[in-house]
Amino acid sequence: MLRIYVDFNEMTADGKRVLINTYSDQLVRDVLHPGLKVLLYTPGDLEVAGVVELDIDANGTEWWYGVPDWTTVRELHIPPIN
């Protein structure tokens, strides 16, 4: 399953979707398609399974989102530095 970095501070106003930044990651943009099952994660924070959705705005700009399944959330801890 594809693992995609997201910033969970970039949730939509309704809190149901998180923006996938396809501008900084060409590889991700090339493989995304609506309905793709992925892992959405932020290093040292959390990881959650989700499904990809695509919105196209009035200007024709593509906006890719992950729809998290919060029943699958897993905390990612950074081990302490000794």
Tens of each residue's pLDDT in the chain, 82 residues: 899 999 999 999 999 999 999 887 777 888 999 999 999 999 889 999 999 999 999 999 999 999 999 999 999 887 767 7
Q: How many CA atoms lie within 13 A of 21 on its CB side?
A: 10
pTM score, whole prediction: 0.87
Contact predicate 36/2, CB 8 Å: yes
- Buried b / exposed e over 15-52, threshold 16 CB at 10 Å, is eebbbbebeeeeebeeebeeebebbbbeeeebbbbbbb
Would you put residue 23 in left (φ > 0), alpha (ψ -120 to 50) or beta?
A: alpha
What's the pLDDT score for residue 55?
A: 96
Contact predicate 5/18, CB 8 Å: no
Tell me the domains of the chain and their CATH numbers: 2-73 (2.40.240)
